[in-house]
Chain A
Amino acid sequence: MEKIVSLIKTDFNTTFGLSSIAYSFKNKKNRWQIIVFGIAMLSILPTYFILVKGLGGIYDIYNEIGQKSMFLLSGFLASQVMVFLFGLIYVMSKYYFSNDLAQLVPLPIKPSYIIGSKFMTLMISEYLTSLPIILPFIFIYGIKGGEGVLYWIYSILLVITVPVIPLVLSSILIMIFMKYTNIGRRKDLIRTISAVVFILLMVYAQFKINAITQKALMEGEDFLINLVKDSNLLVKNLGLTFPPSIWASLSLSNYLNITGLVYLLIFVGAGVLSFIIMIYLSESLFFDGLIGNIEVSASKGRAGRKTSIKDITKQTKPYIALAKKEIIMLFKTPIYLLNSIGGVIMIPIILVMSTISNGDEFMEIVTIFIKTKPELITLVGIGFIVSLGMLNSVGSTTFSREGKNFWIQRTLPIKVSDQIVGRVLASIAIQILGLIAMITSLLFTIKLDMKAIILISTLGLLGSIPMTEIGMIIDITRPLLTWTNPQQAMKQNLNVLIGMGICTLYVGGIGYLIFKLINKVDINLIFIGLSMVFVVSSLLFYFILEKLIKKQFEILE
């Protein structure tokens, strides 16, 4: 027992950085980071409130048709599905790719202890996913229906246990997956492909849901009622395939009688039971997937090989070498490959596809729109590529990704200009992939003329430069270098979020200006103006970066 408590404590500490937060607070350092984080969070609030308000409306309709429990069911289902999906990613990185494993495995502790403690930490992380979804449902239902004290007590119990079952499911799935893919040299590849397949399946599900909303939209004014009726069926169907959500909602909607208590006990009991099953399974699954997983096998026949240095040496300009190194690392690290490169290629395809799947009526509107203002699609395309320049996270994590290897960059005689140009080039290279993906998928949907393609390509890539530079400015100001898992450098890096905020302002500001000008000024002037904005901001950010990098390379410790 002491062992497991100590494991959980240590894991909490390393995951949420309690010691280091306490340390930086004591040093009065990094305090503004917390402020920035606060502001970033606040900026999401308005959208969140709009959504919550909409939920209130949906509750009313469920109430009218006497299906109040369906409202709760959607809430539980949504939060549990999200926990499950995020769980798959979290579990993968936490159980199999975190650096503490190398220390934990040789210790005299059972695999189930390791899994148990890691599961606990994941639960806490998952509350960040589940609470924002489930709480509005609980509160709207409770307040609008004027429910009693017992309702709130049940709610607390349910909310606490909501992530257990989905997280157990994703844990078991990942453990089985890792056990059977832990083979040979190509396991990174196998796993990346599986992740892509998984994302494509998600996209397919997204289309399905889109189609339902689309149908509801067609019904005109009865939109909400139809949405409810439609999704009622959907929710019921999904609920049947995932009964725990039904138990939770039935427990809350019947809290006044014994049925409620029974369902509450079933829900909590199923959570505990599933946890025990997972712990039991982990004994036989976990180490099989883990051991040998971290090992990187050398190529065959290292011993018998004759290497000719002459054929494999080549001199390149420093900035090209730097860009090359960045690109190799992005391609060879699965998490970077999936997020940066995968994202840049998949986002445009998904976006264009979902536009098509919105139905013929929608496409007609688009076609009419394009006929009256053909350059609009060009402008949107440019804006999209420019935004991808930030979404690809190449700039906003470029120094963070160096991590423990940052000493190399700091002790080598690299010109600051080479640092900037090399890293921007890496981002541009990734952007080109996104550009190709977008133009190809656009060509399938609408007719694009040569001029539009050239404009989207040149201006899109030109606009990606200031985006990457903004990302780099943020990242060099507060690089995250102490990560133990590349996931942290890219997905849990606040710099990415800050970058996206600033990118929204930048693209939004320019978009607003164009919107104001488009009917007053010749379109060619707008394109020229746009190029000038991109060039000037690139130069401006370049000079800021030059100063910052020089300064930060000196003082970082």
Chain B
Amino acid sequence: MLKLDSISKSYNKGRVKAVDNISLEIKPGEIFGFLGPNGAGKTTTIKMIVGLLKPDNGSVTVGGINAWKEPLKAKSMISYVPDNPEVYDKLKGIEYLNFIADMYEISKDKREEKMNYYLEMFNIKDAIEDIVGSYSHGMKQKLVLTSALISEPDLFILDEPMVGLDPKSSFNLKAIMREMCDEGKTVFFSTHVLEVAEKICDRIAIISKGKIVAMGTMEELRSHAKEKESLENIFLELTE
């Protein structure tokens, strides 16, 4: 579903390599966790997938489509939730959701069903007629999550999704991710919370200084490590 073929990105005329020759392939129905310390290149990688940063070289393929050659086709399969939910604060929540749904050309019935479901689940339905500017950080995040889920994306990309969510919502989000994978969709997310990654990811990649230093299932990662360790120890060992 998602294939990164040796993509790189550097800043300051190549002096700072943010992402260095990363390749990975994620199959439909997989939850893929992207782990790494601050500044390792997680967000840069994600931005290259969703069309916010053009890779210096390499290719991004989404559902068999080169995401930088046919961006429109690729983007209609993707939904993206950034780490910082900046949305139009003068729009009402519902106006924002309708706007996003219009861009994905989702029918009224479909969007109604999805909105009802997710707004109830995230408990923001009654705030949906207020302007986004009046929302708390967490509410904004839930709004962005809802807007990303309305389009039933084949590839769901989230940057640090658990930050700022209350325990119940992050529990719900994990359930949603699982559900989506059962339906054959793909979830790709970055996180600091190792416990989340350990629990719900089918596969994990650990990135450090722009390079993938380990990739595989939890079992595979453990077997490569010196001893049968927790993910935390593996993480610390690899990203030193």
Contact = CB atoms under 8 A, between A and B. Distances in A.
Interface of A: 27, 296-299, 302-303, 305-307, 309-310, 312-318, 320-322, 324-325, 328-329, 332-333, 404-405, 407-408, 410-415, 553-555, 557
B191 to A, nearest CB: 20
A302 to B, nearest CB: 6
Contact of A325 (B51, B99, B112, B127): B99
A315 B106 CA distance: 7
Interface in B74-98: 75-76, 78, 80, 82, 86-91, 94-95, 97-98
B56 to A, nearest CB: 11
Given A299-B129, A325-B95, A404 B86 contact: yes
A340 B119 CA distance: 35
Interface stretch (B29-37, B130-138, B178-186, B206-214): B130-138
Contacts of B192: none
A309 B115 contact: yes
Given A298-B127, A404-B86, 18 more contacts: A302-B127, A307-B129, A313-B97, A313-B98, A313-B108, A314-B108, A321-B99, A325-B88, A328-B91, A328-B95, A329-B90, A408-B100, A410-B51, A411-B51, A411-B80, A414-B72, A554-B51, A555-B54
B131 A408 contact: no
A414 B126 CA distance: 29
Chain B interface size, as a band, is: 35 or more
Interface string B7-19: 0000011000000
A325 B91 contact: yes
Contacts of A298: 127, 130, 134
B30 to A, nearest CB: 21
Contacts of A333: 90
B103 interface: yes
Given A298-B127, A299-B129, A405 B87 contact: yes
B194 interface: no
A318 B126 contact: no
27 contacts: A296-B89, A302-B127, A303-B126, A306-B126, A307-B129, A309-B94, A309-B112, A309-B116, A312-B98, A313-B111, A315-B102, A315-B105, A315-B108, A317-B102, A320-B102, A321-B98, A325-B95, A329-B88, A329-B91, A333-B90, A404-B86, A408-B100, A413-B103, A414-B72, A414-B103, A553-B51, A553-B71
Contacts of A332: 90, 131
A318 B99 CA distance: 8
Given A321-B99, A325-B95, A302 B126 contact: yes
Contacts of B126: 302-303, 305-307
Given A314-B108, A412-B75, A554-B68, A309 B119 contact: yes
Given A329-B91, A411-B51, A318 B68 contact: no
A411 B52 contact: yes
Given A309-B112, A313-B115, A325-B95, A318 B125 contact: no
B53 interface: yes
B104 interface: yes
B128 interface: yes
A483 to B, nearest CB: 13
B50 interface: yes
Contacts of A297: 134
Nearest to B90: A332
B183 to A, nearest CB: 20
Contacts of B221: none
Contacts of A313: 94, 97-98, 101, 108, 111-112, 115
A332 B131 CA distance: 10
Contacts of A411: 50-52, 75, 78, 80
Contacts of A309: 94, 112, 115-116, 119, 125, 128
A171 B50 CA distance: 46
Interface string B116-128: 1001000001111
Contacts of A299: 129-130
A274 B139 CA distance: 46
Interface of B: 12-13, 50-54, 68, 71-73, 75-76, 78, 80, 82, 86-91, 94-95, 97-108, 111-112, 115-116, 119, 125-131, 133-134
A298 B92 CA distance: 11
Nearest 7 interchain pairs by C-beta:
A321-B102, A413-B75, A413-B76, A332-B90, A296-B133, A298-B134, A296-B134
B82 A407 contact: yes
Contacts of A27: 12-13
A415 B102 contact: no
A297 B133 CA distance: 9
B214 to A, nearest CB: 29
A518 B53 CA distance: 53
A260 to B, nearest CB: 54
Contact of B131 (A296, A318, A324, A553): A296
Given A415-B72, A554-B68, A315 B129 contact: no
Nearest to A404: B86
A411 to B, nearest CB: 5
Contacts of A328: 90-91, 95
A351 B46 CA distance: 52
Contacts of A312: 94, 98, 128-129
Contact of A316 (B72, B102, B129, B131): B102
B112 A310 contact: yes
A333 B133 CA distance: 11
A173 to B, nearest CB: 27
Contacts of B133: 296
Contacts of A415: 72
Contacts of B112: 309-310, 313
Contacts of A412: 75, 100, 103-104
Residue of B52, B90, B104 with highest tally of chain A CB at under 10 A: B90
Given A296-B133, A411-B80, A413-B76, A318 B105 contact: yes
Contacts of B75: 411-413
Nearest to B111: A313
A325 B92 CA distance: 10
Contacts of B116: 309
A312 B129 CA distance: 9
Nearest to A317: B102
Nearest to A403: B86
Nearest to A319: B102
Nearest to B144: A408
Contacts of B54: 554-555
Contacts of A555: 54
Contact of B102 (A296, A303, A318): A318
Contacts of B87: 405, 408
Nearest to A297: B134
Nearest to B108: A315
B97 to A, nearest CB: 8
A414 B99 CA distance: 11
Contacts of B95: 325, 328
A317 B134 CA distance: 28
A334 to B, nearest CB: 10
